[in-house]
């Protein structure tokens, strides 16, 4: 009874912080996008989101404790050109965690690829557009079907400038932005943070098979690949809850899977990443429960 009440209080408090945080994040991004030129605006929106997520969502729930690697290690592995970070995925909260815990002098480099329908969400969708995330155009709503609309997706991946064609990418303001391109972003030394499981994992101790497609850009552009494996996020935001916020101790581990210029194929990267991240998950769980 008491436990239930505490849980409900945590969910409610976090839910309120999340809602307000998103609205404030969105409002700040609208201002930034209005006053700064394109490239700069996206970076500043990333940093603004970091501060909002950190102070509104993470620090306002001190019962969620996060231990991350020392800042020198975070800087050494993540503060470089063309890094592809991989995370395991158990809830919507994982992206909040990444943005809130990655220092503001690093976070501006990172963008993600996300299900295109999320761009339609109130506030969240606007923030994701202004930050410059890239849509993945899944053909079906079934979470186990990963088929994408190939010709349209190719336009989002490729560097070549193509005319604006999809309503999905329209900015909240009337001026239509150019289609964001993943490879152009990496070419200008941008980084990516991806969820190679491609969906939310229902049984987090065992990673879902990784999607080969996750590694296409890392292969082609020879990006450094680093995994950011965590334990405890699923306690704070359990898979069955619509909103997180429960007490948890989250531990983050970074592992370099391939150095820049590795020359490995997507298949080889996938295999290495899968084995290495599963080993990290298993050992983090053992350490935690020891
Ligand atoms: C990754 O998997 C671990 C182990 O099951 C889980 O505790 C953690 O919450 C997952 N991390 C994320 C970011 O979902």
Is 50 exceeded by the pLDDT of residue 77?
Answer: yes
Cα 165 to ligand 1 centre (Å): 37
Mean pLDDT of 65-86: 97
More confident residue, 157 or 227: 227
Give, using CA atoms, the residue closest to atom 4 of ligand 1.
205
Q: Are strands 134-136 and 64-67 parallel, antiparallel or unpaired?
A: unpaired
- Domain boundaries of the chain, sorted by first residue: 2-289
Please report, to the nearest 10 degrees, the dihedral formed by the alpha carbons of residues 207, 221, 104, 20 taken in order.
-60
Quote the pLDDT of residue 160. Answer: 53
Quote the pLDDT of residue 16. Answer: 96
CB 45 within 8 A of CB 177: no
- Decide whether any atom of ligand 1 lies within 6 Å of the 231 Cβ: yes
CA distance 261 to 219: 9
Quote the pLDDT of residue 179. Answer: 61
Q: Could you please state the CATH topology (level 3) that the domain comprising 2-289 is classified under.
A: Glycerol-3-phosphate (1)-acyltransferase (3.40.1130)
Give, using CA atoms, the residue closest to atom 8 of ligand 1.
231
- Decide whether any atom of ligand 1 lies within 6 Å of the 230 Cβ: yes
Quote the pLDDT of residue 178. Answer: 53
Nearest-CA neighbor of 188 among 126, 132, 128? Answer: 132
- Decide whether any atom of ligand 1 lies within 6 Å of the 196 Cβ: no
CA distance 143 to 141: 6
Quote the pLDDT of residue 141. Answer: 85
Ligand 1 atom index nearest CA of 98 = 13
Q: Which two tokens stand for residue 286?
A: 């053992």
10 Å CB burial of residue 289 (0-12, 13-18, 19+) is exposed
pTM of this prediction?
Answer: 0.90
Q: For residue range 81-135, list pLDDT tens digits in order.
A: 999 999 999 998 999 999 999 999 999 999 999 999 999 999 999 999 999 999 9
Is 80 exceeded by the pLDDT of residue 72?
Answer: yes
CA distance 136 to 156: 8
Cα 230 to ligand 1 centre (Å): 5
Quote the pLDDT of residue 180. Answer: 66
Q: For residue range 239-279, list pLDDT tens digits in order.
A: 888 899 999 999 999 999 999 999 999 999 999 999 999 99
CA distance 18 to 95: 13
- Decide whether any atom of ligand 1 lies within 6 Å of the 88 Cβ: yes
Give the strands of the sheet with 224-231, arranged side by side: 64-67, 248-258, 224-231, 83-87, 191-194, 110-111
Quote the pLDDT of residue 194. Answer: 97
Q: For residue range 119-177, list pLDDT tens digits in order.
A: 999 999 999 999 999 999 999 888 888 899 998 889 999 865 444 444 445 444 434 44
10 Å CB burial of residue 38 (0-12, 13-18, 19+) is exposed
């Amino acid at each position: 009874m008491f436990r239930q009440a505490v849980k409900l209080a945590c969910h409610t408090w976090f839910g309120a912080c999340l809602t307000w945080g998103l609205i404030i994040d969105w409002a700040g991004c609208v201002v930034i996008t209005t006053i700064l030129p394109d490239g700069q605006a996206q970076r500043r929106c990333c940093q603004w989101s970091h501060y909002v997520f950190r102070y509104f969502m993470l620090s306002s729930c001190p019962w969620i404790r996060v231990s991350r690697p020392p800042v020198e290690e975070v800087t050494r592995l993540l503060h470089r050109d063309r890094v592809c970070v991989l995370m395991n995925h158990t809830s919507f909260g994982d992206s909040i965690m990444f943005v809130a815990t990655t220092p503001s002098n690093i976070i501006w480099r990172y963008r993600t690829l996300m299900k295109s329908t999320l761009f339609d969400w109130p506030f969240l969708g606007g923030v994701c557009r202004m930050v410059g995330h890239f849509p993945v155009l899944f053909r079906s709503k079934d979470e186990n079907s990963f088929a994408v609309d190939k010709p349209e997706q190719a336009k989002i991946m490729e560097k070549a400038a193509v005319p604006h064609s999809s309503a999905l990418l329209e900015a909240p303001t009337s001026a239509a932005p150019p289609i964001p391109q993943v490879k152009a972003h990496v070419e200008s030394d941008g980084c990516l943070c991806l969820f190679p499981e491609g969906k939310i994992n229902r049984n987090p101790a065992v990673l879902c098979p990784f999607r080969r497609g996750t590694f296409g850009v890392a292969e082609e552009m020879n990006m450094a690949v680093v995994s950011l494996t965590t334990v405890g996020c699923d306690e704070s935001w359990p898979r069955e809850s619509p909103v997180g916020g429960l007490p948890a101790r989250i531990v983050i581990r970074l592992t370099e899977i391939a150095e820049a210029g590795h020359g490995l194929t997507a298949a080889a990267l996938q295999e290495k990443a899968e084995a290495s991240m599963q080993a990290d998950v298993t050992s983090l769980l053992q350490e935690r429960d020891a």
